Amino acid sequence: MVKMPIEVRETLEKQKPVPIATASKDGVPNVVFVGLLKIIDDETLLIADNFFYKTAHNLDENPQISVLCYSSETKKSFQIKGRVEVHKSGAVHDEMASWVHGINPKLPAKAAIVVKVEAIYNAMWGPAAGKQVA
């Protein structure tokens, strides 16, 4: 695992909605937007699965995820790569559900997707594009 530098956290916090990419076990890619993503700590993100379909199938068979963020103010962009743990019941699920239901009690709050950050890359155009930052 790696720690997200402050500039990465700040860029991700402002990204709305957040594009996340998953892939099937055969490598078929899939990108969706999520609004309900929050930073738990320097190494961990939480995503609420309310409506995932292909994304949920992909994460069941391939736990890799890529999260993208960009700020037009700071001109910074990062790819955050990680591995997920999917919690469909239990304490982590229940904590996610109370967060989600505090926003909208009608949301299904199906699963808590906990992302452990494993690598971060610079995704801004320019000479540092593609370079690993953490």
Q: Residue by residue, what is the 3-state secondary structure of the chain?
A: CCCCCHHHHHHHHHCCCEEEEEECCCCCEEEEEECCEEEEECCEEEEEECCCCHHHHHHHHCCEEEEEEEECCCCEEEEEEEEEEEECCCHHHHHHHHHHHHHCCCCCCCEEEEEEEEEEEECCCCCCCCCECC
Does 115 engage in binding with ligand FMN (CB under 6 A)? no
What minimum distance in Å lies between the beta carbon of 109 and ligand FMN? Answer: 9
Cβ distance to ligand FMN smaller for residue 1 or 33: 33
34 binds ligand FMN (CB under 6 A): yes
Site for ligand FMN in 51-110 (CB under 6 A): 51-55
30 binds ligand FMN (CB under 6 A): yes
